[in-house]
Amino acid sequence: MLRQFLLGKIHRGVVTRADLDYMGSVTLDPLLIEAAGFMENEKVDIYDVTNGARLATYVIPGIAGTGEIGINGAAAHLVHAGDLVIIAAYGWLDEAEAARHKPKVVFVDERNQVVSRASQERTPAAAAGTLGPRI
């Protein structure tokens, strides 16, 4: 059986522009594409941390080193320049693949430059080995 898993994500990137007059997609700095393990034309989900909007689109490369996260087309109605976003790609893995898989989690600064990378995510409480309040 195949199950869907996180392949890679860019965490809390800053949208550098939103262009209603483009056909669609998200333009990303190729350095971000590589760091997150994305591929050109790959489907990604975008979660707008600023306003809660969620959408699916595909990746196109911009100019390397610019930190560009450009929202193109109709999505620019939902996501605006300056918004914080999470961009994630998922893939279907079988049990053996899933056991070996490590997602590429990329953390960026306010200029969308990579500051750290991880292959797993944990809440602060889980990382510290403590429990939060019980309900």
93 DSSP β-pair partners: 3
Q: Is 58 a catalytic residue?
A: yes
Question: Which tops the pLDDT comparison, 24 or 44?
Answer: 44
The closest alpha carbon to 101, from 93, 113, 90, 89, belongs to 93
Backbone angles phi, psi at 62, to 5 degrees: -105, -140
pLDDT in tens, 74-122: 999 999 999 999 999 999 999 999 999 999 999 999 999 999 999 987 7
Beta strands (DSSP E) in the chain are: 3-14, 17-19, 26-28, 43-48, 54-61, 69-72, 84-93, 104-108, 114-118
Q: What is the pLDDT of residue 120?
A: 83
Q: What is the pLDDT of residue 121?
A: 78
Options 22, 47, 58, 90, the catalytic residue: 58
Q: Is 119 a catalytic residue?
A: no
The pTM of the full predicted model, rounded to 2 decimals, is 0.91
What mean pLDDT, rounded, does the chain reach? 94
Options 22, 25, 47, 90, the catalytic residue: 25
How far is C-alpha 25 from the chain's CA centre? Answer: 13
